Chain A
Amino acid sequence: MNNKQLLAALAGGAVIAIAGQTAAERGADGHVNIIYWQAASILNPYLSGGTKDIESSSLVIEPLARYDQDGNMVPWLTTEIPTVANGGVSEDLTSITWNIAPGVLWSDGTPLTAHDVAFTAEYCMHPEGGCQQSTSFSDVASVEAVDDLTVKVTFSKPKPFPYGPFVGGESPIIQKAQFQKCLGARAPECTEQNFGPIGTGPFRVTEFRANDVISMEANPNYRDPSKPSFATLTFKGGGDAAAAARSVLETGEFDYAWNLQIDPAILKQMEGAGKGTVVAAFGTAVERLMVNLTNPSPDLADMRSTVDGGPHPFLTDAAVRRALSLAIDRNLLSEVGYGSAGKATCNVLPAPAVYASTANDECLVQNIAKANQILDDAGWMPGSDGVREKDGVRLSILYQTSTNAVRQDTQALVKQWWSEIGVETELKNIDAAVFFGGDQSSPDTFQKFYADIEMYTNLFNGTDPEAYMNNWTCNEIPGPSSNWLGNNMPRYCNAEYDALAAELGQTADLAERARIAMAMNDMLVQEGAMIPLIHRGRVSAHSNTLGGVILNTWDSELWNVADWHRE
């Protein structure tokens, strides 16, 4: 559709709206305001892995397939999802072939082709580009355009779940014509491209102010001529979650506010103003306690919290770990800190539903008496100060986490419960940028884990848990020899677990994969490498006049913005 036709359509839309019928024309609903309290820095998710950047760019650039609100894959720019059954995935699981839907245009009017898709892979896989989404392209050997609308991804080894590249908000397709001079080391210099990518999505950028605000307008070449309903869009950033919530729920200045992790009581009160609605949805995020199975004693100097430093003096005792878990009232933690955005859980892998195990539900109910009993039976007896000890070892725990009001509340509650079972707890909190930062010289990173227990949330993108569950295999243990890289914070090492991980890597059948993943989850929880606390949801809010919002935690929250409309 060219500009003239668009104008005609807009005028038509206005006439229809005046006539009092439902507006189903592009741009008929005027303007929509979105606020993300973290401002978008760049519109290229390959150069910034921040959620705010991935989600803001999802208004403009799109992947070949997305996840819907239930975690199912839906073809987005393609005709169907390739599977072994429909021949899209090869029998030996080493390649996948996508068929691009014909007629999809970029916002500049040129057609989307397989060459753009192949270029996107080349862009991210360039060794000097510092691509932040290279996990999506792991094990990819080559991506080639078979013809203009067919693209074939070949993997270097069998991939039972070949939907890494080009699926979900993390790996959208960028236009070759626009980005071809921005490969590798030149990627960061392409400011104009990174701030205003040409996309196939419902909107296109008119002005980008880094870390502040983005102005957008409807993409005149969007594939559905009646969408999006909004002619223009403002994506504002900055402030904090409470202010964002207020602007939607109380003042009504904005239509949509993202990720409102604030005191649930305050959110409820704001919702009472009657201008907006709070929505929540659950993905894979779990707030958990990581149990250090190695010795963090400062006396060990360089060997602190490493496998070489030897096992932990008391956390290697299964009875202690079980008692610590039983003493926690997860429902109360969830109510105090998370409200509608939290559910008590005993699993590190709580979703999608097929992967959720029920084998560990004992921990859902707090039982201090039983926890005490377990410790008594294991020979941990209260000393003169009430702290249990055995053979000169006291149950004294250093419990660290990042600085965050909800986490400090949780820490205080857990400390109280643990004191009731004779465990002494010292609390520590560290600025998030330091705690999660990988600074090798800092002793306070979550990888170094110079504490007995640490708490944070982890999750995985998409719906396949394979890469996530691989985090706790023996070779993922961080230590000085691996520059403290690695995700196995508890330093958990079990040959059986590694065998299951290897099996998962070769199994394509979904039911079988679910069985293995559940077994791995149960092993981690029952052996006490982790103490899961809260299954965390995403909370957002939208104005009561904004229709079509379907909160999605498996993909960008703005995944269906083309369907949003004014009610």
Chain B
Amino acid sequence: MLNYTIRRLLFTVPVLLFISFIVFLLLDLAPNDPTGNLPLTIPPDVREQIRRSLGLGEPIHVRYFLWCVQFFVNEPLNILEHWTGLQFGDGERLRVQSWATRSPVVDLVVERLPQTLWVVGMSYVVGILIAIPIGVISAYRQYSWFDQAGTFVSMVGFSVPTFFTGVLMIVVFSVHLEWFPSIYDTTHRVTDWESFLFQIRQLVMPVSVLALYNAAQISRFMRASMLDNLGQDYVRTARAKGLKEHIVLLVHVLRNSLIPVVTVIALGIPQIFGGAIITEQVFKVNGLGQLLIIGIQGADIPLVQTLTFIFAVLIVVFNLVADILYGILDPRIRYE
């Protein structure tokens, strides 16, 4: 297992380098321009000057190499300095700078992580907590009214886009009932009971919109996996031994059924960090998803490149985690 993990980890290095190069190439080939969204009152020659000042005059391999140095050398050194308090060299290193904000991309990411983790992370947890019981009951009482209702809700969660459910919730709960704010306050700090309640109130709508979607997905996996196991011989054996029904279901069947579901959940974790582009826009959460979409619209190439690369790292890592988890949970699986 350890050998396998090390081998896989070593293999990720060339994979990630290749991904970063492909992303860079794609962004460079895209017909987009960082001055494209500026007002037309800025004349073309000034735009040309702006493009040059952003380093767009250099050939692509030079720009890619520069990004690699900034991201793989300068940024880690900076973090090390920050953590250890030591200084390497003169401390004057060029970090990956966003074109639109002229500030280090990594700082932007760090600034936005809290709200993304709060909203998207919370929705993932809530989604899982809803999905597992629904999946278990739906499978156990297959084709009952509960199963039918669960199937219906999953279909709704799957097929109704978040930009619809989000706006619908705002119209109902913010405009008519005035229960929850329609705009998320990212500067809000939880300091006491009062502010904690406010934080809950502003989380309710974005979290439930996303949780509906997550729950829809996971509850289907859970149901299918339960159904697979319920028909197995060992279930009959357990019942024949005279075990109580809830022990058969919750100890024997559920544990075995969770194995594939856990890996599905692990594979979904990177998307928490990727943010929820649409939901974040609808509720003005302004997390990582919104940062990415603004970067794409404004052709902020260093920002988009860095963000997509971070997502790529997370996806590769969580794929590995899912594989290893599977091996640990299911003794039948062995990697050598």
Instruction: Enumerate chain A interface residues (CB-CB to B < 8 A).
Output: 35, 39, 41-42, 44, 47-51, 128-132, 134-135, 185, 187-191, 194-195, 207, 209-213, 215, 234, 236-240, 243, 246-247, 250-251, 253-254, 273, 432-439, 441-442, 444, 447, 456-461, 478, 483, 485-487
Q: Are A135 and B183 in contact (CB under 8 A)?
A: no
Closest 4 A/B residue pairs (Cβ): A130-B53, A437-B33, A437-B36, A485-B44
Q: Which of B31, B97, B103, B282 contacts A439, CB < 8 Å?
A: B31
Q: Which of A49, A434, A460, A487 has the most CB of B within 10 A?
A: A49
Contacts of B44 in A (CB 8 A): 438, 447, 478, 485-487
Contacts of B186 in A (CB 8 A): 209, 212-213
Q: How far is the CB of B131 from chain A (nearest CB, A)?
A: 29
Q: Are B187 and A209 in contact (CB under 8 A)?
A: yes
Q: State A209–B294 Cα separation when bound (angstroms).
A: 14
Question: Number of residue pairs across A and B with beta carbons under 8 Å?
Answer: 180
Contacts of A447 in B (CB 8 A): 44
Q: Are A213 and B52 in contact (CB under 8 A)?
A: no
Size of B's binding interface in residues, CB under 8 A:
54
Counting CB contacts under 8 A, is B247 at the interface?
no
Contacts of B291 in A (CB 8 A): 211
Counting CB contacts under 8 A, is B108 at the interface?
yes
Contacts of B103 in A (CB 8 A): 42, 191, 194-195, 210
Q: State A551–B291 Cα separation when bound (angstroms).
A: 30
Q: Are A246 and B170 in contact (CB under 8 A)?
A: yes
Contacts of B294 in A (CB 8 A): 39, 211
Extra contacts besides A253-B181, A433-B299 (19): CB < 8 Å:
A42-B103, A50-B37, A135-B46, A195-B103, A207-B187, A209-B186, A213-B286, A234-B187, A243-B182, A243-B282, A251-B182, A254-B183, A273-B175, A433-B36, A433-B298, A436-B37, A437-B32, A478-B44, A485-B44
Given A47-B102, A251-B174, are A132 and B46 neighbors across the interface (CB < 8 Å)?
A: yes
Q: State A439–B103 Cα separation when bound (angstroms).
A: 24
List 5 A-B pairs, Cβ < 8 Å: A50-B39, A213-B286, A251-B175, A444-B31, A458-B40
Q: Are B31 and A487 in contact (CB under 8 A)?
A: no
State the main secondary structure of chain A at its contact with B. loop
Q: State A483–B44 Cα separation when bound (angstroms).
A: 10
Q: State A213–B286 Cα separation when bound (angstroms).
A: 9
Given A211-B294, A253-B181, are A135 and B31 neighbors across the interface (CB < 8 Å)?
A: no
Contacts of B26 in A (CB 8 A): none
Interface string of B182-223 (1 = CB under 8 A from A): 110111000000000000000000000000000000000000
Contacts of A483 in B (CB 8 A): 48
Q: Which of A134, A190, A432 contacts B37, CB < 8 Å?
A: A432
Contacts of A442 in B (CB 8 A): 31
Q: How far is the CB of A38 from chain B (nearest CB, A)?
A: 9
Given A49-B38, A132-B50, are A210 and B174 neighbors across the interface (CB < 8 Å)?
A: no
Interface string of B32-76 (1 = CB under 8 A from A): 110111111111111111111110000000000000000000000
Q: State A98–B294 Cα separation when bound (angstroms).
A: 40
Residue of A nearest to B54 (CB): A130
Q: Are A194 and B182 in contact (CB under 8 A)?
A: no
Q: Are A130 and B50 in contact (CB under 8 A)?
A: yes
Q: Which of A49, A211, A253 has the most CB of B within 10 A?
A: A211
Q: Are B33 and A247 in contact (CB under 8 A)?
A: no
Residue of B nearest to A42 (CB): B101
Residue of B nearest to A33 (CB): B183
Q: Are A433 and B182 in contact (CB under 8 A)?
A: no
Q: How far is the CB of A187 from chain B (nearest CB, A)?
A: 8
Q: How far is the CB of B70 from chain A (nearest CB, A)?
A: 13
Q: Are A253 and B286 in contact (CB under 8 A)?
A: no
Q: How far is the CB of A448 from chain B (nearest CB, A)?
A: 11
Q: Are A439 and B33 in contact (CB under 8 A)?
A: yes
Q: State A273–B176 Cα separation when bound (angstroms).
A: 10
Q: Are A432 and B36 in contact (CB under 8 A)?
A: yes
Contacts of B38 in A (CB 8 A): 49-50, 132
Counting CB contacts under 8 A, is B252 at the interface?
no
Q: Are A130 and B36 in contact (CB under 8 A)?
A: no
Q: Are A135 and B41 in contact (CB under 8 A)?
A: yes
Contacts of B43 in A (CB 8 A): 135, 487
Q: How far is the CB of B176 from chain A (nearest CB, A)?
A: 9
Counting CB contacts under 8 A, is B271 at the interface?
no
Q: Which of B48, B181, B182 contacts A485, CB < 8 Å?
A: B48
